[in-house]
Structure 1
Amino acid sequence: MSLTLADARIVTPDAVHEGWLTIEDGRITHVGHGSAPRPGHSLGGRHVVPGFVDMHNHGGAGGSFPTGEQDKARDAVALHARHGTTTTVASLVTDTPERLAAAAASLAELCDEGLLAGIHFEGPYIARARCGAHDPELLREPSPAEFAALVKAGRGHVRMLTIAAELPGALDTIRMAVAEGVVAALGHSAADYERTLAGIEAGATVATHLYNAMPQLGHRDPGPIAALLQDERVTVELINDGVHVHPAMLRLACAVAGADRVAMITDSISATGLSDGEYLLGPMRVRVVDGVARLTEGGSIAGSTLTMDTAFRRAVRELGLSLPEVSRMTALTPARVLGLSGRTGSIAVGKDADLVVLGDDLEVAGVMKRGAWIAEP
């Protein structure tokens, strides 16, 4: 089946142009300028951006990926899809090796279906002093052998590991993860500048939610933030919800790293899309008040209730970034990190027709995944 989308403002990685595109068998086959050569589905001059790629997401709509419950995971994916996310990585949190393996094995089946794009282990190899909303009693020292067993449980679908570079065994575990095709991310860490650089040299290429759960940037003790921002091998995750990071610090990261090294993420939890109340994030109890999630004990921020379309709008309105820049940060850059940029992340011939139609207010008006409408404009 062939479909032409006409009268669109198409956002590519470098520009915005008025034009049209054709989709056949779920793939983009033509991208043109001006008027479409034949009648098609008119988008009335609305913007079309690539479907969002969320590489750090714990759930939504009452579903929490760390439980491994497949029906609940489907609910979470559907919620985020309505907000424009066409590629979702399921992030787990610190738990016992047995429960982590069981959750990974269950979610791997959804990866086989193509519902999920992979699995992210955020813990248990993180620093007690910077564990945030992770259970400190379940933290463990990094073990290449133990992580190899988790990778095996995920049956080829483990995409990323967050690890603190300063822990005993961390550098060997990073090397092992990279050798297995898993992206190593540094985060939830108390590492200094030098130890963070050692983690990068060992193969780490991502900063898990930069600024959060790590020492602050200092002019005499630069810490991990400076190391992660300055190294061109590293992509930095940013949570752009108005809670986790001040807009000035978001602008700083975007100015230093640029759109090709910034990946907007949600870090969303099961409460996303629901009302305030009490929820679980792995084994930890969370209370959501005015949309802000914090641990019921201690008050640490516990993920977010953010969706990618809100992050997109905030990046344009609050940070002053261009549509092509933001589309790279919300789609192409995370797709590249995950090894998926050959199929998704930008509007280009040969790629999957993963698209979001945005109105003048940048609200989601339509969502398409692999050529099928999730929400038709």
Structure 2
Amino acid sequence: MKVCLHNGTILNGISQMENCAVYFDGDTITDVFSEKRFEEKKFDSDTQIIDVHGSFIAPGLIDTHIHGFMGHGTDKCSTDGILSMARDLAQYGVTAFNPTIYPAPEEEMLKTIRQIVAAKKEQEHCHNKEGKSVARAVCGAHIMGIHLEGPFISPEKLGVQRPETVKPVDLDLMDRLWEASEGTIVNMTVAPELKHMRHLALNCIQKGIVLQAGHTNARYENMVEGMQAGILHTTHFFNAMSQMHHRDPGAVGAVLIHNEMTCEIIADGKHVHPDLFKLLIKDKTPDNIILITDALTPTEQKNGPLFANGEEVLFKDGCFHRKEDDVIAGSALTMIQGVKNLINFGMNRSEAIKCATVNPAKIMNYRKKGLLIPGYDSDIIVFDNNFNLQITAISGNLVKRI
């Protein structure tokens, strides 16, 4: 499919360019040009020309930490459920994501991993009811790979995770998880202070896994040792980690002090106080921040009881709370709302988009994603000034259009 989106403002994570157009042919962006050039340009007769009427054109959003969406997710995981999750996310502007797995008994983790791998394979070879090959985009947002949020994390910083599922570093277990994933584990949350973490880090880095410090009670020196071992990214910064103290900067202080550390952030205004974003933006700069949702399975679910991690939850004050004790159970954020929130918290539009596109693609080593430039994947969104999503294109296919 050949498509030209014109009369828009391009947000490519680097700058904001008004009166521009983006042309893509199939799954690749082939040209980005001014509206003046659009008026002079000759298009093939089969090109679909779409006037976006001044709306913003941006790369598709990439969520590297998400557990579920609209009733489907990695808890009670199934291949069909993950594919449904991918299709639903596309309607909210997400064009690539990492299904994220909590720690669980080994057999349960292995089963979940295999279901996600099967979904990824099926997505890459989608077929319609007649058995004819159809565009990969029909299956929704690209399943990029798996994020393991454990099991090698601190029992002292569990959040709502089950204590019996947390394990000491076990290289044999890591190899079994990797084998089940068929090489699709992309990123992994670990606690740097655990014994033998340096050996695990070497094992994972050799496999190309991005290591993230999270669910950690690390002292400052543990974090520095982790950085030296290659743990250079952070899981939901500020949350479930040792806080800063003047005698021990802890995990939070280490991330703020060391420029090489990058961080995820849940920008819902609930998990992290809005005013803390002023410090975060000033210290880390938007170049080193990844917007994530950490969304739970019932996020945007319209009907029925809400369940996450095997227990009933209630939607309250913008996030999920456990029904039994009212403790915050997790996020209900969407990526497009997160971008809007980042702007409200102090970023400009280009910076906020960068945190949801350029940065995750760079840190996760996703080539040809995250920018609107020739040669990159035609994963694109269009939204108005109020962040109402109008178009989602995945691999050049218009999977959402209003």
TM-score (norm 2): 0.89
CA positional deviation for 1:232: 2.9
2:275 is aligned, of 217, 242, 248, to 248
Quick one: which of 33, 56, 59 aligns to 1:50? 59
> Residues 204-255 of structure 1: CA distance to partner in whole angstroms, max 9, x if unpaired?
1210000000122223321111212332332200000111000111221122
Contact map agreement 2:31 2:374 (CA 8 A) in 1: yes
Q: 1:276, 1:289 within 8 Å by CA — same for their partners in 2?
A: no
Q: For the residues of structure 2 that align with 1:12 and 1:362, how far apart are their CA atoms?
A: 16
| One-letter identity of the residue aligned with 2:346 | G
Structure 1: runs of 5+ lacking an equivalent? none
Structure 2 partner of 1:20: 21
Q: Distance in 1 between matches of 2:153 and 2:50?
A: 49
Q: What is the aligned partner in structure 1 of residue 76 from structure 2?
A: 67
Aligned-partner SS, 1:335: helix
Q: Is the 8 A contact 1:239 1:264 kept in 2?
A: yes
2:265 paired residue number: 238
- Is residue 2:260 matched to residue 1:259? no
Q: Aligned partners of 2:179, 2:120: CA distance in 1, in Å?
A: 14
Contact persistence 1:174–1:203 (CA under 8 A): yes
1:320 aligns with 2:321: no
- Residue equivalent to 2:2: 2
Query: Partner of 2:313: helix, strand, or coil?
Result: strand
**Native 8 Å contact 2:80 2:119 kept in 1:** no
Q: CA deviation at 1:121?
A: 0.7
Q: CA–CA distance in 1 between the matches of 2:382 and 2:247? A: 46
Structure 2: how far apart are the matches of 1:138 and 1:234? 28
Is 1:332 the counterpart of 2:341? The answer is no
Q: Deviations over 1:103-134 (max 9, x none)?
A: 11110122233441110110111111110010
CA distance in 1, matches of 2:105, 2:26: 43
**TM-score, with normalisation over the residues of structure 1?**
0.95
- In structure 2, do the counterparts of structure 1 residues 261 and 299 end up closer, same or farther at CA, with 3 Å as the change threshold? same
1:277, distance to aligned residue in structure 2 (A): 7.3
2:290 touches 2:359 (CA, 8 Å); kept in 1? Answer: yes
Which is worse superposed, 109-118 or 135-144? 109-118
Paired position in structure 2 for 1:206 = 233
CA RMSD in angstroms, aligned pairs only: 1.7
Shift of 1:330: 0.5
Shift of 1:284: 4.9
User: For residues 186 and 63 of structure 1, do their structure 2 counterparts lie closer, same or farther at Cα, with a shift above 3 Å needed?
Assistant: same
**Matches of 2:347 and 2:302, distance apart in 1:** 30
Distance 2:56 2:310 in 1: 41
Where in structure 2 are the equivalents of 1:273-284 lying within 5 Å?
273-275=300-302, 279-284=306-311
Larger Rg: 2
1:298, CA displacement in angstroms? Answer: 5.0
Answer yes or no: is the 8 Å Cα contact 1:229–1:236 preserved in 2. Answer: no
For structure 2, the residue ranges without an aligned partner over 5 or more in a row are: 44-48, 125-141
Q: 1:292 to 1:275 in 2, by over 3 A?
A: farther
Q: Quick one: structure 1 residues 276 and 290, their matched pair in 2 at CA, closer, same or farther if it must change by over 3 Å?
A: farther
Match of 2:130 in 1: none
Q: In the alignment, which of 241, 251, 268 is matched to residue 224 of structure 1?
A: 251
- Which letter maps to 1:117? M
Measure, in 2, the Cα distance between the counterparts of 1:180 and 1:300. Answer: 37
CA distance in 2, matches of 1:351, 1:97: 38
Count of residue pairs brought into register by the alignment? 375
CA distance in 2, matches of 1:277, 1:231: 45
Partner deviation per Cα, 1:116-169 (whole Å, 9 max, x = no partner): 111011011111111001001221111122111101100011001111111222
Among residues 330, 333, 337, which one is paired with 1:306 in the alignment? Answer: 333
